[in-house]
Chains A and B, each alone.
Chain A
Amino acid sequence: MPDSGGPDPAALAADVDVLAADLFVGGDSRDAMDAVRAHDWVTLVASEPLLDDAEAIVAALADADLASDWREKAEALATLVDHPDGDHPALSAAVHGGAAHVLSMDGQLQSAATGAALSRRADVSVKSPAAFARLFDPERLYPTVVGGEYPGPDRDPRE
């Protein structure tokens, strides 16, 4: 990661709704998360409280075994950061993890007011998974974040 002092444009946090939709539904949430799974230079930041909430939702919607197995894979994929108790987990994980993006389907998180409040703390942008999947351009980002010509995906996003 280049030490530019700003948030990492190749790092993101995903809210619980996006993590669950990635697992259960697919669509835009899976497309967005595939950007992480397919590139080892794209970072998913998360926190224990965020994964706790997501694991609980998966268990409530399916079963504890699937929730536990999902947690194991998510922990292996993510970079875990600490944040103060009581913070919104996805927002705070992004801020404390130096990520430029928060993916959420929560309209309130995407609102202009929240964006303004967030921008006072860090340059974090809340986006829908659809917007992120549309805007994320690894070929354009790679020369800035890693350097050189984009070689294409470096991981199988289904492994």
Chain B
Amino acid sequence: MAGRTWRALFDRARDAGVTEEDIHDALADQRADA
């Protein structure tokens, strides 16, 4: 969509406060559910 940039996505994502550890935990949960 016009106007939706990577910069804007990164800004929104930063607000979520997600860490690499959170990502790995979520991936472990995803694999457990698969």
- In the complex with contacts A60-B30, A61-B16, A73-B4, A25-B9 CB distance below 8 A: no
Would you call B23 and A158 a contact (CB within 8 A)?
no
Distance to closest chain B CB from A56 (angstroms): 6
Distance to closest chain A CB from B29 (angstroms): 7
Would you call B16 and A17 a contact (CB within 8 A)?
no
Would you call B16 and A24 a contact (CB within 8 A)?
yes
Size band of the interface chain A makes with B = 20 to 34
Question: Taking CB as reference atom, which chain A residue is nearest B33?
Answer: A56
A146 within 8 A of B: no
B32 within 8 A of A: no
B13 CB contact (under 8 Å) in A17, A60, A62: A62
Question: Taking CB as reference atom, which chain A residue is nearest B31?
Answer: A53
In whole angstroms, what is the CA distance A58 to B9 when docked? 11
Would you call A72 and B6 a contact (CB within 8 A)?
no
Question: Taking CB as reference atom, which chain A residue is nearest B4?
Answer: A69
25 contacts between A and B (CB under 8 A): A17-B23, A17-B27, A20-B23, A20-B27, A21-B23, A23-B9, A24-B16, A24-B19, A24-B22, A25-B23, A53-B30, A56-B30, A57-B30, A58-B13, A61-B26, A62-B13, A62-B18, A66-B16, A69-B4, A73-B4, A73-B9, A105-B20, A105-B24, A158-B10, A159-B5
